[in-house]
Structure 1
Amino acid sequence: PREIGMLGKLETLYIYDNQLSGEIPIEIGNCSSLQMMDFFGNHFTGRIPITIGRLKELNFLHLRQNDLSGGIPATLGNCHQLTVLDLADNRLSGGIPATFGHLRALEQLMLYNNSLEGNLPSELANVANLTRVNLSNNRLNGSVVALSSSRRFLSFDVTNNEFDHEIPPQLGNSASLERLRLGSNQFRGRIPWTLGEIRQLSLLDLSGNSLTGSIPDALSLCGKLTHIDLNNNFLSGPIPLWLGSLPQLGELKLSSNLFAGPLPRQLFNCSNLLVLSLDANSLNGSLPLEIGKLASINVLSLDSNQFSGPIPPAIGELSKLYELRLSHNSFSGEIPRELGQLQNLQTSLDLSYNNLTGQIPPSIGTLSKLEVLDLSHNQLVGEVPPQVGELSSLGKLNLSYNNLQGKLDRKFSHWPAEAFAGNLHLCGSPLDQCHDFESSNQQLAMSESSVVVISAVSTIAAIVLLIIGAALFFKHKRESLRRGSEVNCAYSSSSSQAQRKPLFQNGDFKWEDIMEATHNLSDEFIIGSGGSGTVYKAEFPTGETVAVKRIPRKDDLLLDKSFGREIKTLGRIRHRHLMKLLGYCCNKRAGSNLLIYDYLENGSVWDWLHRQPVNSKRREALDWEARLRIAVGLAQGVEYLHHDCVPKIIHRDIKSSNVLLDSDMEAHLGDFGLAKALTDNYDSVNTESNSWFAGSYGYIAPEYAYSLKATEKSDVYSMGIVLMELVSGRMPTDGSFGMDMDMVRWVESHIESAREELIDPALIPTSPNEECAAFQVLEIALQCTKTAPAERPSSRQASDLLLRVFNDGMFDSEKLSPDPYA
């Protein structure tokens, strides 16, 4: 109200995160004692009052996320005490006033996401105490030299403007600068070597400019770099060897440049690398076997280069790989069957436009999450494996222009004929019908002498196999006795030793029992796979069914004992929304640890949202009430890990495929604490370490890119993504979001204007109460996915908010209890 101007002694005015609207009254300028003013997150419209310039004591002005328009008043330059000025996320236009040069005390200048234009005034050179600047997503142009005089920068972001000239070398004077973002502008010239003076630099984004020359070797001194994005420039020369010496490097993007030469082997020492994008360059040579060392890699994009030689089988060791693009190269040899081990491969497997030969390995048919498979324009032969036709998540298939032959399985009949074009000896729907007489003539051509020879060879082979089988049987019996001392099994227990009990009521089980039940961990028993290991279904003669997770074993006594202690601790954790760890087995000779869990018959939330679930009878059960129950259950499980476990447990890899559903469709969060146990087993016996680079593509909190630290708030962010997934039915990396849009921004952009697009079409029609609840869940999800970790709720707060949504009387069924043990 205008009467606010009567409060002449008011010093602090905080009305952020409300639903206030209308214009900010000009009478605000009469509050002559005002020092701090925070109107963030409302719906204020109109212009910023010029009378704010009267507030000589004002040191904090925060008007972000409103609907303010017009120019920035020049009178703000009279507020000489200002240290924080945040006008971001509005519709402001015009230029930056030259009077801002008077704000010598200013430390933070936030003007991003507006429509500002023009050159930066030269007077800004007087503002020499700036620590954080963000002018991104405007239409500003000219040079940024005037803004570069401070030596105290911590972050500097002018992304997505029209700035040109060279990058100012004086940016290297800020030794504490952590994040430098100059992407999507028109900067030209070379990358200044002075940037190597910034020892604290963790994020460097110079993408989408017109930079030339090579990457300066001085950047090798920036040992804390986690994110390097130089995409879409005119940079040249070889890939620097020193990139492999950056221990925390998580993203390396050098696409669409003029880089040449082979990949340096040192690059594969970057075991924390999540994204490696080198496509559209002139790189050559072969892929070294060391590629298997990129244990954390999610995205590997090497397409449109000049690579040659075989695709190394070691690529199958990249268990977290989400996207693999090797197209438009000169790779030769066969497609390695080890690609079938990449169970997290989802966005794309693109090997098109190479010189690959041999047959399509049937193991590709086990990539159950795969959405795009492109093997076109190679020299592949043989039949198309029917397993490929069973990939229910596949949205694009291209096997055209090879030398494939034979009859297509009827599972391929729904694909367009273009997917198989250019294979002259391929037939069957959707192609031309096959002619059976050709195969029958070939059978008649076999002579009687051939039959005799084949019969004789078969008989001899059978006798030899019988002798070998007998020898192996007796050898196995001898080894099993010797192996007994090398196998260690343990079972979970409650806090009371008296209540300790084995996995099965009928007695203990052995390593050999699991091997027998899974045919030595055969691929046909795989039910899931993640970064920590592969999961198998084991059914025993007793009728018990369990899930068995196989993870590699570190051959070190101290580390193995540490891992054992961690697992036993996790085995004592009991919560209705956490997967129950029943026990584990270690086998030194096999080099494996096996974790035994309850088998949950309804698969994962990912299965239900994005492909036909394990139990297809229950397809209709995932209505809105079921999804909301899952959301509450997930939040309660995370809350327990963060707030009720001593010490607390950071999950590190919350995603929909880690949320499993039992026969009652109750949610159970899996893999909790396992990342920490694995890290300790492989890296250190220090169980307090929290710096393991974990997570899955699309679910990773933005601060991970530069901090490499998992926290409760990064777990909350991942949980928020799953909430969005539950409401929208879309994957976090859905292609419909667009190139520069992620799921969070997509929800933000639709929540006010096109809300109906946010709800999964499978839920339509929804009742008014259900629709209201869905949007409430999305609002909670948006809070969980705030860019700044401090602005996110705790998992306990998120759990309470979701429980309130459920218990607001929307369902006829019994309300949920806040007590997870009820």
Structure 2
Amino acid sequence: MSRMYDNWERLVGAVLKREELRQIAMCESLSSSSSINSTSLFIPDFPNFLDINETKFKDVFSYHQILEATDEFNDENLIKLGHSGDIFYGTLERGIPVVIKKVDLYSPMKRKSYMSESSFLTKVVSHPRIVPLLGHCLENNTEKFLVYEHMRNGDLSSSLFKKRRSDYSNLRSLDWITRLKIAIGAAEGLAYLHHECIPPHVHRDIQASSILLDVGYEVRLGSLSEVCAREGDTRPSRMISFLRFQQALERDTPGTPNATCAYDVYCFGKVLLELVTGKLGISSSNESTVKEFLEITLPYISINDKELVTNIVDPSLIIDEDLLEEVWAMAIVARSCLNPNPNRRPLMRYILKALENPLKVVRDENTTSSGGLSNAVPFDSRR
């Protein structure tokens, strides 16, 4: 029995090594070619990769169960048409609500995103700030399905303001305590990805719609199709080597998010400003819109004048003097995250500390002249 196991282990090792060498050779061949078709890079010839990784997922659902849960993908259950897959609301047996992502593998972009998402989910341990994956469905060769736990309060983009029952003219705004709780929860999720994962990972799609909210407005990070290993990490990973090659080619493409922690921090800064100002859509806007918004907003965020921030605070917020200091502190943290120089943006673990102790940020910072949150938290510019 032992000899049989040893032989099997050597065989599997040889197959994996051969596959890895083939991928490396393919990458080198592509990189040496003067006429690279970037679209073809999204359809590598290793279909077994999907099935190998998916065997580690929790539960296996049949295609019949998926159809029943979504009422055969009824349009009424469609949540959104995503760039990485279509998102549907579903109900499993015993009335369990779920969210099902339907991925069309004929789409090169969706296939690539699915590979990235499944790779991340099978290599990283579950975390209370990452949306729970319940299982998957493998039956179709042309489509794959990921089944996630349903978040009762949707996402931040749809929950910051909610209509009061049938009164469509009256919006209920999340109070400041809940907004601060959401900011801390999202920071915990990103700090986990950046500093606790092995290897460290970058989300690359942080915006209000990717911050999911469970009962009690507990945060779960969603939109995981862009997650990848951080640039510059040298620890080996069989599939990451190929994905890195793709990213290297894409890095010169305008609008392509870089696989750096500083990029996540910048995006998180936009989310923080949404929480402070109530201006929905900033975190998902194009850079020209964001630039215009920041030119108007940032002059009102000053460490030397707390009252200035009242000019940009969401008017629906009811805040007293003590809460105003917390709002002011979050605005200052957001400003640091939005520094045009990526090397001067704080690390997520320090952002988390600042949000957990917002009054310490402004009170300690008032004793300095640097304006860089130096005393409040050890904001280190190193990457």
Matched, 1:761 2:318: no
Name the counterpart of 2:364.
none
Matched, 1:794 2:356: no
Q: In the TM superposition, what are the counterparts of 1:73-152 in structure 2 within 5 Å?
A: none
Matched, 1:635 2:184: no
Q: In the TM superposition, what are the counterparts of 1:441-520 in structure 2 within 5 Å?
A: 490=55, 492-493=57-58, 502=59, 509-520=61-72
Once the two structures are TM-superposed, the CA of residue 675 in structure 1 deviates from its matched residue by 4.4
> Distance in 1 between the 2:264 and 2:245 partners?
14
Normalising by the residue count of structure 2, what TM-score does the alignment of the two structures yield?
Answer: 0.65
> Distance in 2 between the 1:614 and 1:676 partners?
40
Matched letter for residue 745 of structure 1: E
> Distance in 1 between the 2:172 and 2:92 partners?
30
> Distance in 1 between the 2:273 and 2:309 partners?
13
Q: CA, structure 1 residues 537+613, in 2 after alignment: closer, same or farther (shift >3 Å)?
A: farther
Deviation by residue 1:177-205 (Cα, 9 ceiling, x = unmatched): xxxxxxxxxxxxxxxxxxxxxxxxxxxxx
Matched, 1:543 2:92: no
**Conservation of the 8 A alpha-carbon contact between 1:580 and 1:597:** yes
**Conservation of the 8 A alpha-carbon contact between 2:87 and 2:101:** yes
Matched, 1:607 2:179: no
Which gives a bigger RCO, structure 1 or 2 (Cα 8 Å, sep 6+)?
2
The percentage of aligned residue pairs carrying the same residue is 27
Q: CA, structure 1 residues 691+665, in 2 after alignment: closer, same or farther (shift >3 Å)?
A: farther
Name the counterpart of 2:136.
584
Q: Of 221, 231, 234, which aligns to 1:669?
A: 221
Deviation by residue 1:606-640 (Cα, 9 ceiling, x = unmatched): 00236649999xx7472000000000000000000
Deviation by residue 1:298-341 (Cα, 9 ceiling, x = unmatched): xxxxxxxxxxxxxxxxxxxxxxxxxxxxxxxxxxxxxxxxxxxx
Tell me the secondary structure at the aligned position of residue 89 of structure 2. Answer: strand
Name the counterpart of 2:146.
595
Q: CA, structure 1 residues 733+805, in 2 after alignment: closer, same or farther (shift >3 Å)?
A: closer
Task: Answer 1 or 2: which has greater helix percent.
Answer: 2
**Conservation of the 8 A alpha-carbon contact between 1:578 and 1:637:** yes
Tell me the secondary structure at the aligned position of residue 714 of structure 1. Answer: helix
Matched letter for residue 195 of structure 2: H
**Conservation of the 8 A alpha-carbon contact between 1:649 and 1:672:** no
Q: In the TM superposition, what are the counterparts of 1:221-232 in structure 2 within 5 Å?
A: none
Name the counterpart of 2:301.
751
Matched letter for residue 267 of structure 2: S
Normalising by the residue count of structure 1, what TM-score does the alignment of the two structures yield?
Answer: 0.32
Matched letter for residue 335 of structure 2: L
Aligned length: 296
Q: In the TM superposition, what are the counterparts of 1:550-589 in structure 2 within 5 Å?
A: 550-553=102-105, 566=119, 568-569=121-122, 573-589=125-141
Name the counterpart of 2:9.
none
Q: CA, structure 1 residues 642+565, in 2 after alignment: closer, same or farther (shift >3 Å)?
A: same
**Conservation of the 8 A alpha-carbon contact between 2:274 and 2:282:** yes
Name the counterpart of 1:722.
271
Once the two structures are TM-superposed, the CA of residue 545 in structure 1 deviates from its matched residue by 1.1
Name the counterpart of 2:82.
530
Q: CA, structure 1 residues 643+564, in 2 after alignment: closer, same or farther (shift >3 Å)?
A: closer
Name the counterpart of 1:658.
210
Deviation by residue 1:62-86 (Cα, 9 ceiling, x = unmatched): xxxxxxxxxxxxxxxxxxxxxxxxx
Gaps in structure 1 of 5+ consecutive residues: 1-244, 248-268, 272-485, 494-501, 503-507, 678-684, 694-701, 809-822
> Distance in 2 between the 1:644 and 1:720 partners?
21
Q: CA, structure 1 residues 785+520, in 2 after alignment: closer, same or farther (shift >3 Å)?
A: same
Task: Answer 1 or 2: which has greater strand percent.
Answer: 1
> Distance in 1 between the 2:256 and 2:117 partners?
29
> Distance in 2 between the 1:554 and 1:738 partners?
33
Once the two structures are TM-superposed, the CA of residue 567 in structure 1 deviates from its matched residue by 5.2
Q: CA, structure 1 residues 588+722, in 2 after alignment: closer, same or farther (shift >3 Å)?
A: same
Name the counterpart of 1:711.
260
Structure number, greater radius of gyration: 1
Q: CA, structure 1 residues 788+564, in 2 after alignment: closer, same or farther (shift >3 Å)?
A: closer
Tell me the secondary structure at the aligned position of residue 270 of structure 2. Answer: helix
Tell me the secondary structure at the aligned position of residue 713 of structure 1. Answer: helix
Matched letter for residue 725 of structure 1: E
Gaps in structure 2 of 5+ consecutive residues: 1-33, 40-50, 230-237, 362-383
**Conservation of the 8 A alpha-carbon contact between 1:517 and 1:539:** yes
**Conservation of the 8 A alpha-carbon contact between 1:733 and 1:743:** no
